[in-house]
Amino acid sequence: MHYTIRHRILNHMKVTAIISDELIEEIKKLTQGKNITESVTIALKEWLALKKVKELNQLIKEEPLEFDANFSAESARETSRK
């Protein structure tokens, strides 16, 4: 049990936040979490994932991907089948 308490203390942060009831209810509805904590965690993880995708899209926009001159879909398929 000592390990469990220590594990929770080191890997979780208790937060007090003032969030409107309407926003919490919408988050709970859309995430279908079991409780407020799970719902907010799901929402934050999804938000972070979207931010990371936007950042990657911006990087690709600034420096587009380029294929080697000898690249072909056929050779890529052969390589992935090996």
- Between residues 25 and 7, the one the model is more confident about: 25
Per-residue pLDDT, averaged over 10-25, amounts to 88
| pLDDT of amino acid 68 | 84
What whole-number distance in Å separates Cα of residue 55 and Cα of residue 60?
9
At 20 the pLDDT is: 97
Q: Confirm if 39 and 27 have CB atoms less than 8 A apart.
A: yes
Say what the pLDDT of residue 4 is: 61
**DSSP secondary-structure letter at 69?**
T
